[in-house]
Amino acid sequence: MPSLISRTITLPAAKVRSILAIFSLKRFIGILAIGSTAFIVLLTAIDQMIAYYVKDAIYTDLSRLPYRPYGLLLGTSKYVAKGTPNTFYTNRIYAADTLFKRQKIDYLLLSGDNRTLQYNEPRTMARDLRKLGISDEFLFPDYAGFRTLDSIIRAKEIFRAEPMTIITQRFHCERALFIAKYHHIDAVCFVADSPYSASVTRVRESFARILMLWELFREKRPHFLGSPEPLPPPIQRATLSQSSEQ
């Protein structure tokens, strides 16, 4: 008889524990789903607000792009894998070449990563622009452009490259311009073509914008600054001034 009573008491307790476990799991899944949805909504809202804030400084039509003496070409890897060209890089190079030859800029500041002797974005960009016919006297490397924030701040504080035209893809334009506006830097951006595979990069960009806001909030500074190395004075502005005096 005692064993029967024990079994009668034990079985309901096991069922209760099982029900509670299922309820807790469902509750956890529900909270996780709500949290994930809220995060995605927040991520999208921040992404769109940044895009809207800088939209007036973004140009896709070359004929509407104002003349700026300095072009800031933001670096990226030339290859996505061994022997596979990175179309983002190629399109930025062609856009920079077009702006220079159409006299929308006088000089190009080539800002990128130089993490090793073998990996050197500014050197690679300079080499490819020389192949397109741009002389070294118009090309200035910035070997400490490790991140977009570094490139933008150094363009102003080290190279005195204002007013400037930033050259990169649209999603990158928006983040670069937001940093420039935050630091009161006179900049616009010309959009280089994006490859069809840009969707994955665009998702990653949304997370990069969250990191950007955090770094701006913390007043993050470039890894390296140093003494100013001003770029040469504008060519077209000097030419126009001389013409007006004659």
Per DSSP, the residues of 212-227 read HHHHHHTT---S---S
pLDDT, residue 6, reads 46
pLDDT, residue 16, reads 55
CA distance 123 to 153: 20
The reported pTM is 0.81
pLDDT, residue 238, reads 45
H-run or E-run covering 198: helix 198-217
Cβ neighbours for 17, distance < 8 A, ≥ 6 positions apart:
none
Is the distance from CB of 110 to CB of 125 less than 8 angstroms? yes
Name the nearest CA neighbour of 144 among 131, 158, 132, 130. Answer: 158
pLDDT, residue 31, reads 74
Amino acid in the structure at residue 240: L
pLDDT, residue 241, reads 41
pLDDT, residue 240, reads 44
Q: Could you say which residues of the chain have pLDDT below 70?
A: 1-23, 25, 28, 30, 196-199, 236-246
Structural domains in the chain, sorted by start: 55-230 (3.40.50.620)
pLDDT, residue 9, reads 47
CA distance 152 to 72: 8
pLDDT, residue 34, reads 78
